[in-house]
Each structure stands twice: as C-alpha cells, then as structure tokens.
Amino acid sequence: MSPASSALIDDLVCANHILYVEGVVDGFGHVSVRHDQRDDRFLLACGVAPATVTADDIVEIDYDGNVQDEAGRRSYIERFIHSEIYKSRPDVMAIVHSHSPAIIPFSVTRATLRPVCHMSGFLGFSTPVFEIRGTAGDDNDMLVKSAKLGKALAETLGKHHFALMRGHGSVTVADSIKLAVARSIWAEMNAKLQTEAMRLAQMAGDNSVNYLTPGEAKGSMTINETVVDRPWDFWKAKARVALLGLKR
C-alpha cells in the first residue's frame, strides 16, 4: 500500500476550496487528480460540498470507477467522468467537473464558446459539446453515472482541454491540478466576457466580435500557463481567508 503524498492531497483540498471561492463550483461539482504513488488510482473527495472538503475526505478510486476506501466512504455518482477520461487520456493528470453558470448557455445554443481574451486560448476554436441523449436516450437524469456514459463523454472531449456538457456544465482537463483549476476559472470568465461581447456587438449593430486568432490563442496560452503558480498561490491565500472557520 502506497498512500498518496500529503502535498498532493493538500493541493487537492485547496483546489476544492479555490473552485468554490472563484465561483466555479457550488454545492456540486468536483475535482480529481491522479494518484502520485500508484498508477491504478486517482483521488477525489467523498460526496461532500467542495468548500468543506478536508484531507480526511479524500478517497482513492480505480479506473473502473470503484471507490477503494477501507472506511467504506462513497464518492460522487459522476466519478465516471474522471475514471473514463483518465483511461482515454494518458496526458491528463487532473480533471474539474463543474456546473459554472456562464458556460451553460453555450451548451444549449448555436453560439460557439471561443477565446475572447488572452487567458482562455486553451479553449480552442471548436469546443466540443457532449450530448448525453446520444447514449442515454431522451429520458435520462442528465448524470454521467456509469462507465458507458463516462466513455461517451471522454470520446466527445477527444484531445481537447475543455468540453461542454449540454444543459449540465463542463469538464476541464490539464497535465497538473493547478492548471486544471486555472483553466476552469478562465473558461467561466471567458463565457461571461464572450456573452457580454456578443450582447454589445448586437447593440453596436453588426454582431461583430473580434476573437483571438489561433496564433494568439496558442501564443498567450503558452505564456500564461507556464506561470500558473502565481494565480494559484493567490487563489489559495484568498480561499483560506474566505473559508476561515467554515465547517460542516
């Protein structure tokens, strides 16, 4: 038995807190990271609200979505989002699933989410949208609650860093937990800015929004993402103050 390092667990706890304070998750939503001491498991909180997660709430889960916890704790019903994406994407080290509100309109309209500012180049120019009806049929509960649905979502995500989930939320992936958290914050920010830009463009009379070019998206992403420690340290300090004394 090789437990995950305490530094990794601390980062995962902080990630939960940051995502709440930055408005990406609320009572729901979750973040995972691959285990750093064994290659057959990842880490996720048991089924609690992200803002209240502590190190004692972190459980280990195998890539079939089975919770491996001697204390018998359970985890989120949608843990298959994580297990199936990890299976299909060896490059992905951390995953955020959220219902952050500004991105949802882009999952239910023909408006395409694309980079309007220099922090969101990772979105690319063809943000995939997962349609759960394609696997679960018209009558479903919208939840990615099985390996089959998780696999379908992973197929929709493909090689992208971000995917919308129609009428539900999104999934963000990265090669580190800090970057997965940052991208999920920047995706929500981009959605807000893009909605405002599209509204203003309509008022201006020509519906024209000047998006980043693919070269600008790639260029700014390359720079921003190498200094992710800076916003991470700030978000971490901010979350510590914001959640001081919070207990469940």
- Catalytic residue from among 22, 60, 78, 225: 78
Catalytic residue status for 196: no
Name 63's Cβ contacts closer than 8 Å, sequence gap at least 6: 40, 41, 42, 83, 86, 87
Query: Rounded CA gap, 163 and 158, in Å?
Result: 9
- What does the H/E/C string look like for 12-73? HHHHHHHHHHCCCCCCCCEEEEECCCCCCEEEEEECCCHHHCCHHHEEEEECCCCEECCCCC
Instruction: Report how far apart the first and last C-alpha atoms of the chain are (Å, whole number).
Output: 30
Query: Rounded CA gap, 240 and 133, in Å?
Result: 40
Q: Tell me which residues are annotated as active site.
A: 78
